[in-house]
Chains A and B, each alone.
Chain A
Amino acid sequence: MLYFPKWKVIAILTVVFLGIVYALPSITPQKMLDSLPSWVPQRSVTLGLDLQGGLHLLMHVEVDAVVKERLDAIVEGVRSELRKANILYRNLGTRGQAVSVNINRPEDVQRARDVVAKIETGTNVLVEGDRLTIAFTEQTLRDIRVSVVSQSAEIVRLRIDETGTKDPTIQRQGEDRILLQLPGVNDPERVKKLLNTTAKMSFHLLCDQQSEGPSAPAGCFNAASGEAQRDGRNLPTTYTLRRRVEVAGDRLVDAQPSYDQRTGEPVVSFRFDRQGATQFGNTTVANVNKPFAIVLDNKVISAPVIREPIMGGNGQISGNFTTKEAQDLSLLLRAGALPAPVTFLEERTVGPDLGADSIEAGTIACVIGYLLIVVLMIAAYGVFGIVANIALLLNLAFTLSIMAAFGATLTLPGIAGMVLGLAMAVDANVLIYERMREESDRGRSVFPAVDAAFQRAFGTILDSNLTTLIAAVLLYIFGSGPVRGFAVTLAIGIACSMFTAVMVTKLMCVAWLTWFKPKTLPV
C-alpha cells in the first residue's frame, strides 16, 4: 500500500535525522565540528592504521620458555628433596615438557614418588619401572599460558603508556599472541626495542676468581658485558658472577633517569622497597670495596665497586648511557619485567603521509564515482533519480554513523565493502524503477504501477541482500583482519540499504506523487 500513517512518517524522519547527525563527526572537519552545538555527537569513525598511519605489531609470547624455567626449578627441587630423603637417583633432567629421573633402588620408588609429588602443585607423577616422570597437568599448563600472556599484555601496556603514545590498542589474540596497534607511531625500532627486552634485573656479587675461558667455577656463571664502550675505557667483555641473587629486580619501586652529580653523565636512579633496601644494605655492608654487578637480561650493564654501605635503599646505575638510553632503561625498570620473552611475527608501519595520500586519492575517486552515478540516475529516472541519489547519500551517512556508534574501524578493504554496499543500494533503486516502467508498460496507471513495483521489487531486493548478508556474516566469522574489515562495512551497508533504498525512497516517491498528482510516471 502506498499509504503512510503519520506515526510511520515521523518514525522514518526521526531515524533519518539521527543517521545524519551521528555521521556528522565523521564527515566534517574538526574545526567546523568544534563550532557545532554540544548536543551533536563527537564520535567519528576510527580509521584503520592503513589509512591513518601507525604501527601494527603482532607478538608471540614464548610461553614455553616459562614452562622450561619452571621445569628447571622442579629439577632443582627434585635434586634437593631426594638428597634430603636419602634416595639415590640417576639421569635427572628435563625431557620435552617433563622432568624425569631414575631411582636406583626399587624399594625407594614409591617413597620417591611421594616426595616428588609434593614439590610443585599442579603436577602429575608417572611411574614406569624405576623411572619417575613429573609433568604439569593440562589445567596447570593452561593456567600458566593464560597468566603469562595476560601478564605480558599488562606489562606491554605499561611500557607503551610510559612512552606517551595516544590511543594504543593492546589485544590478546589466540592463545599466546598479543596484537599492538599504535596510531601515528612511526618509529618501530624504538618500540620493538622496548618490547623485546625482558628487563629482568638482578644484583650479583662478582666471583673472586674471574675465569678466562667459557667455563665458570662452581656456583658462578659468566655474563657478557652490556656496557656501552664509548670513551675507550678498557672494560672486560665478560664477568664471572656468583649465581646467588643478592637483590632481585622486582624489589624496585621506582626508577628515574637523572644525571650524576659529579660527572654529569646520564644515570638511572632507583629505589628499593623495604625488603630490597634491607637486602641491599646487608650486601653492601659486608662487601665494601668489592665490585658488584647489575645484570639486565643476562648482561652486565654496570659493575661498580661498593665504596660505602648503602642503607637507604636508593642507588644509581651508571652504565655509560646516553640520555635516551637512561630514559628507556628507567622506563623498563618502572614497568617491570616481562614474564616471558616475546618475538615479533608481523610488523606493519604506515607513514602518516602515505595514509593521507590514500585518503585524499580515495576521496577524490569516490566523489567522481558518486557524481557519475548522480548524473546518470537523474538522466535515466528524472525526479525519481534525484530521490535515489538522496537515498544513496543517506546510505553512506548511515553506514558511517553505525560504524562510529559501534566503534568499528574503517580500513582499505573496508572501503571495498562500502563500495559493494553502495552498488547494491543503487541496484535496489534501479530494480524498483525498472519495475515501475514494466508495470506502467503493462497499462497500469501511476499509483498502482508504483505500488506493484515496490511490492515486487522488494522480494528481489530482500533475496539478493540476504544472500550477500549471509556471505558477509560468514566472512566475518571465519575471516581474519582485512576480510573482516570488508565484511563489516558490507553488512552494515546492506542493512542500511534496506531502509534507505526501500523505505525512504518509497516515502519520498509517494510524497512527490501525492503532491504533484502526475498523469504519467517520471521514470
Chain B
Amino acid sequence: MAFRGFRILRAVPKLDYFRFHKLCFAFSIFLCAASIVSLATRGLNFGVDFAGGILIEARKTTPVDLADVRSKVNGLNLGDVSLQEFGRPTDILIRVQSQGDENAEMAAVQKIRDTLGTEYSYERVEVVGPRVGKELIQGGIMAVVFALGGIMAYMAFRFSWRAGLSGVVAILHDCLTTVGLFSITGMQFDLNTVAAVVTIAGFSINDTVVIDDRIRENTRLYKSMDFRELINLSVNQTMARTVMTNGLVFLATFALMTFGGPLLFGLALALLWGVIAGTYSTIYVAAPLEWYLAARGRAHVKAGEAEGEPSRP
C-alpha cells in the first residue's frame, strides 16, 4: 500500500485578503506608475529585433581582447557600438546601432567580418532592417491586445463582466510591471521577451480563472454571504492549490534560469517574475477589484445561512 502525501496546508486557511487591500492597491499603483515613468523617461533597451541594427556573437579559440576589438570596430564609424563578453572569455557580443536602411546594414556586417578576420567564428549574426523592426513591434502589440480582448470576452461570458475586467486589469498589471522591470534594469527587450510577457499573461489568467471559478461555485452555494467574505473563502479554499502549483512552477522556472544557459536566462528571469507577480495580482488585484466593481459587496441577508455546509445536489 502506498503512503499518504503530506499536506502543505493542514487546514483551509482563514485569512482576510482585504485587510491590506488598500495598501496593496497603493503598492500596485506605485509599481505601475514607476513602470510607466521609467518607460516614458528611460524607455526600453530594444534589442536588434525591434530597433533594427546588428548583433554579432563571435567566438575565438583564445580569450578575446575587448580593447583591441573595440578600437577595430570603432574605426569603421558605424555609430553606437557596444561590446561585451558573453558567457565565457572567448566569446564576445557586438551590438551595432541601426544604420538607417537595409543596404547600409548589410554592408556594415560585411565590414565587421572583414575587420575581425578569420580567427573568429560567428556563432550568431542578426541583422534587422528598420522596416522589419517597426513591423515586429506593431505585430507584437496587436497580437497581445487581441489576446487580452479575447480573454476578457470569454471571462465576461463565463463569469461576469466584473470578473473579465478585473482579470484583464490583473494581467495588464503583470505585463506592465514586467516590461517596467526590463526598463528599470535596462535588460534587453527582444522578441523572446515578448514571448515571456505573453507567458506571464497566460499564467496570471490561469490563476485568476481558478479563483473566479470557485467564486462562482460558492455564489451558488452561499446565496446570502457577503461578497467580500465569499471572495475570502474562495481564495482560502484554493490556497492549497495556489501554493502547490505556483510553487512547482516557481521551482521549475528557477531551474530553467540556473541551468538553462545565457540564451534562456532572460526568458526564465521574466517567467520567474511573472509567477510572483501573477500570484500576487490574482489575490491582491483581481479579487479586491472585483469586489469594488460589485459596488462594495451586496447587502447582508439573513445571518447564519452563510455558515455550515449546505447540501449539494
Taking Cβ atoms with an 8 Å cutoff, the residues of A that contact B are: 58, 60, 186, 188-189, 192, 343-351, 353-354, 357-358, 360-362, 364-366, 368-370, 372-373, 376-385, 412-413, 415-417, 419-420, 423-424, 426-427, 430-431, 434, 437-438, 442, 456, 459-460, 463-464, 466-468, 470-475, 477-483, 485-486, 490, 516, 518, 520-523
* Dominant secondary structure at the B interface: helix
> Looking at the complex, which of B202-210, B225-233, B285-293 is the stretch in contact with chain A?
B202-210
* B residues 40-61 in Cβ contact with A at 8 Å: 57, 59
A459 to B59, CA, bound (A): 53
Chain B's closest residue to A177 (CB) is: B132
Inter-chain CA distance A478–B145, complex, in Å, is: 9
Q: How far is the CA of A311 from the CA of B113 in the complex (A)?
A: 46
For the complex, give the distance between the alpha carbons of A419 and B217 in Å: 29
Q: Does residue B126 face the partner (Cβ distance < 8 Å to A)?
A: yes
Asked if B106 contacts A431 (CB within 8 A), the reply is no
Determine if A420 and B202 form an interchain contact, defined as CB atoms under 8 angstroms apart.
yes
Chain A CB within 10 A, most for which of B122, B198, B253, B261: B198
Q: Which residues of A contact B260 (CB under 8 A)?
A: 361-362, 364-365
Pairwise interchain contact B191-A463, C-beta atoms closer than 8 A: no
Closest-by-CB residue of A relative to B241 is A434
- Find A380's partner among B8, B126, B135 (CB 8 Å cutoff): B8
Task: Decide if B76 is an interface residue (CB 8 Å cutoff).
Answer: no
Q: Contacts A358-B261, A413-B192, A480-B140 known; A468 to B205 CB distance under 8 Å?
A: yes
CB distance from A490 to the nearest CB of B (A): 7
**In the complex, which residues of chain A have a beta carbon less than 8 angstroms from the beta carbon of B59?**
351, 353
The residue from A368, A413, A442, A468 contacting B309, defined by CB atoms under 8 A apart: A442
- Partner of A483 from the list B103, B113, B194, B210 (CB cut-off 8 Å) is B194
- Structural contact, A478 and B139, CB atoms closer than 8 A: yes
B261 contacts A467, C-beta separation under 8 Å = no
Cα distance A158–B284 in the bound complex, in angstroms? 60
Q: List 29 A-B contacts (CB under 8 A).
A: A192-B106, A348-B125, A353-B59, A353-B121, A357-B263, A360-B261, A361-B264, A365-B255, A365-B264, A366-B256, A372-B252, A381-B5, A382-B4, A413-B195, A416-B195, A417-B195, A423-B252, A467-B151, A467-B155, A467-B205, A468-B205, A471-B151, A471-B198, A474-B146, A478-B139, A482-B192, A486-B198, A490-B202, A522-B4
User: Can you name 13 extra interface pairs (CB under 8 A) apart from A361-B260, A365-B258, A423-B245?
Assistant: A347-B127, A351-B121, A416-B199, A419-B271, A424-B206, A431-B245, A467-B154, A472-B202, A473-B150, A475-B198, A477-B146, A478-B146, A516-B1
- Bound-complex Cα distance A24 to B209 (A): 35
Q: CB-CB < 8 A to B192: which residues of A?
A: 412-413, 416, 482
Q: Is B38 positioned at the interface, with any CB of A under 8 Å from its CB?
A: no
Residues of B within 8 A of A434 (CB): 238, 240-241, 244
Q: How far is the CA of A404 from the CA of B252 in the complex (A)?
A: 25
Q: Say whether B196 faces chain A, with CB atoms less than 8 Å apart.
A: yes
Which B104-150 residues have C-beta < 8 A from chain A? 106, 109-110, 113, 121-129, 131-132, 135-136, 139-140, 142-144, 146-150
Least Cβ distance of B188 to chain A in Å?
Answer: 14
The reply to whether A382 and B3 contact each other, CB–CB distance below 8 Å, is: yes
The interface residues of chain B lying within 8 Å CB-to-CB of A350 are 123-124
Are B245 and A426 neighbours in the complex by a CB distance under 8 Å? yes
CB-CB under 8 A from B110, the residues of chain A are 189
Q: Does B248 contact A (CB under 8 A)?
A: yes
Q: B181 an interface residue at 8 Å Cβ cutoff?
A: no
**Assuming A413-B191, A416-B196, is B213 touching A464 (CB within 8 A)?**
yes
Are A478 and B195 in contact (CB-based, < 8 A)? no
Given A348-B127, A361-B261, A413-B191: A380 and B102 within 8 A (CB)?
no
Q: Is the CB of B143 within 8 A of A479?
A: yes
Q: How far is the CA of A457 from the CA of B205 in the complex (A)?
A: 17
Asked if B251 contacts A369 (CB within 8 A), the reply is yes
Across-interface contacts of A424 in B (CB, < 8 A):
206
Q: How large is the interface on B (under 10, 10 to 19, 20 to 34, 35 or more residues)?
A: 35 or more
Bound form: Cα–Cα A313–B163 in Å? 79
Q: Give bound CA distance, A385 to B2, whole Å.
A: 11
> Is B73 engaged at the interface, CB distance under 8 Å to the other chain?
no
Q: A345-B131, A365-B258, A438-B237 are in contact. Are A474 and B150 (CB under 8 A)?
A: yes
Residues of chain B lying within 8 A (CB to CB) of residue A361: 259-261, 263-264
Tell me, rounded to whole Å, the shortest Cβ–Cβ distance linking B99 to chain A: 13
- The reply to whether A423 and B209 form a contact with Cβ atoms under 8 Å apart is no
Alpha-carbon gap, A437 to B238, bound state (A)? 11
B124 near A346: Cβ-Cβ < 8 Å = no
The 9 A-B residue pairs with the shortest CB-CB distance, nearest first, are A361-B261, A413-B195, A479-B143, A369-B252, A383-B2, A365-B260, A369-B255, A365-B259, A478-B143
Look across to chain B and name the residue whose beta carbon is closest to the beta carbon of A347. Answer: B127
Beta-carbon contact of B125 and A188 below 8 Å: yes
Chain A residues, CB < 8 A from B205: 464, 467-468, 471
- Chain A residue nearest to B240 (CB atoms) is A434
